[in-house]
C-alpha cells in the first residue's frame, strides 16, 4: 500500500464528522470527543512551512482514529482539573511521545518502507546535529531522542549503544509492545518514561464523562 492509499484507508475508517479549513502555519487535527468532530487545519497559502508531507498527514489521521476507537488520550493529554502547571509540563512530553510509539507502529504496518525511510532520515539528521552541537538538556529533546533510537533499533535493526537515563528511556519504549494499543498500555509506558526523570506518575481517573490523567507522586 502506498501513502496516498493508506491516507484514504485510515480516513475512511473515521466515523465522526470532519471539518476542514485553511488557517495558520501548521497542519493539525483536533479530535473532540464531546462534539465527535475532527477539525482538520491545513496551512494557509502564505504559510512559511508549506504543505505537510503525506506521512505527516497519515500520522495525524492515525492519532484521530485512535481517539475514536481506543481513547481520547491518544491525541491530547488531558489532566485532572487543578493539576499544577509544572507537574503537567513535567509529564506532558512523556504522554506525547508515548502515543507516538503506538501511532508510528500502525504507520509501519501500513507503509513499512516509507516509515523505515523516515526513521532513517531522522536518525541521520540526529547524528549530524549531535556532531555539530551537543544535545540540549530539555525534556522534549531527551524523550524524542529516546523514541527515535528505539525506533531505529526496532525497525531498522540498528545496534546502538546507549547508557544512563537515555538507555532507560529507550528501554521503556522497547519493553512495550506497540502492536496492540490500549489505554492500559499507554498508561504503563507513560509511567515507565516518567520514572526515568521524575518522582511523579499518572493514573486514569474519571472526570465528568471522560477519563483524564491524574498526576500523583509515586508511592
Residue 74 scores a pLDDT above 70: yes
Query: Which cell goes with 63?
Result: 492519532
| pLDDT for residue 24 | 80
Q: Is residue 45 part of a domain?
A: yes
| pLDDT for residue 133 | 65
Alpha helices (H) in 76-138, listed in sequence order: 85-110, 112-132
Q: Is residue 121 part of a domain?
A: no
Q: Is residue 10 part of a domain?
A: yes
| pLDDT for residue 136 | 64
Residue 131 scores a pLDDT above 70: no
Query: Which cell goes with 145?
Result: 531522542
Q: Is residue 34 part of a domain?
A: yes
**Helices 164-174, 183-197: inter-axial angle, 10-degree rounding:** 170
| pLDDT for residue 132 | 66
| pLDDT for residue 80 | 95
Q: Is residue 1 part of a domain?
A: yes
Q: Is residue 56 part of a domain?
A: yes
Average pLDDT, the chain: 93
Mean pLDDT confidence for 201-205 = 97
Residue 63 scores a pLDDT above 70: yes
Residue 219 scores a pLDDT above 90: no
Question: What is the rounded CA–CA span in Å between residue 195 and residue 90?
Answer: 11
Mean pLDDT confidence for 67-72 = 97
| pLDDT for residue 50 | 83
Mean pLDDT confidence for 59-81 = 96
Structure confidence at residue 155 as a pLDDT band (50, 70, 90): very high
| pLDDT for residue 12 | 97
Q: Is residue 116 part of a domain?
A: no
Residue 130 scores a pLDDT above 90: no
Give me the DSSP letters along 22-90: E-SSS-EEEEETTTTEEEEEEPPTT-SS-SPPHHHHHHHHHHHHHHHHT-GGGTS--B-TT--HHHHHH
The secondary structure element, H or E, covering residue 211 is strand 210-217
Mean pLDDT confidence for 18-46 = 92
Question: What is the rounded CA–CA span in Å between residue 15 and residue 31?
Answer: 12
Distance of alpha carbon 95 from its chain centroid, rounded? Answer: 8
**How many domains does the structure of the chain reveal?**
1
Residue 209 scores a pLDDT above 70: yes
Q: Is residue 103 part of a domain?
A: no
pLDDT per residue as tens digits for the range 164-199 = 999 999 999 999 999 999 999 999 999 999 999 999
| pLDDT for residue 45 | 82
Domain extent for 57:
1-68
CB-based burial label for 172 (10 Å; 0-12, 13-18, 19+):
buried
Structure confidence at residue 1 as a pLDDT band (50, 70, 90): confident
Amino acid at each position: 500500500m502506498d501513502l496516498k492509499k493508506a491516507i484514504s484507508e485510515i480516513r475512511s475508517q473515521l466515523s465522526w464528522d470532519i471539518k476542514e479549513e485553511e488557517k495558520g502555519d501548521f497542519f493539525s487535527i483536533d479530535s473532540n470527543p464531546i462534539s465527535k468532530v475532527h477539525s482538520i487545519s491545513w496551512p494557509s497559502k502564505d504559510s512559511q512551512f508549506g504543505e505537510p508531507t503525506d506521512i505527516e498527514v497519515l500520522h495525524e489521521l492515525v492519532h484521530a482514529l485512535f481517539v475514536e476507537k481506543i481513547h481520547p488520550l491518544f491525541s491530547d493529554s488531558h489532566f485532572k482539573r487543578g493539576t499544577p502547571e509544572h507537574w503537567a509540563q513535567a509529564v506532558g512530553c512523556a504522554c506525547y511521545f508515548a502515543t507516538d510509539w503506538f501511532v508510528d507502529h500502525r504507520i509501519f504496518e501500513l507503509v513499512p518502507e516509507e516509515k523505515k525511510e523516515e526513521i532513517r532520515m531522522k536518525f541521520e539528521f540526529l547524528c549530524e546535529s549531535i556532531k555539530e552541537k551537543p544535545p540540549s538538556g530539555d525534556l522534549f529533546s531527551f524523550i524524542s531522542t529516546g523514541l527515535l533510537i528505539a525506533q531505529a533499533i526496532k525497525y531498522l535493526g540498528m545496534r546502538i549503544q546507549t547508557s544512563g537515563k537515555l538507555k532507560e528511556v529507550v528501554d521503556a519504549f522497547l519493553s512495550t509492545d506497540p502492536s496492540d494499543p490500549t489505554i492500559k498500555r499507554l498508561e504503563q509506558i507513560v509511567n515507565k518514561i516518567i520514572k526515568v526523570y521524575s518522582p511523579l506518575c499518572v493514573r486514569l481517573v474519571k472526570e465528568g464523562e471522560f477519563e483524564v490523567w491524574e498526576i500523583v507522586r509515586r508511592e
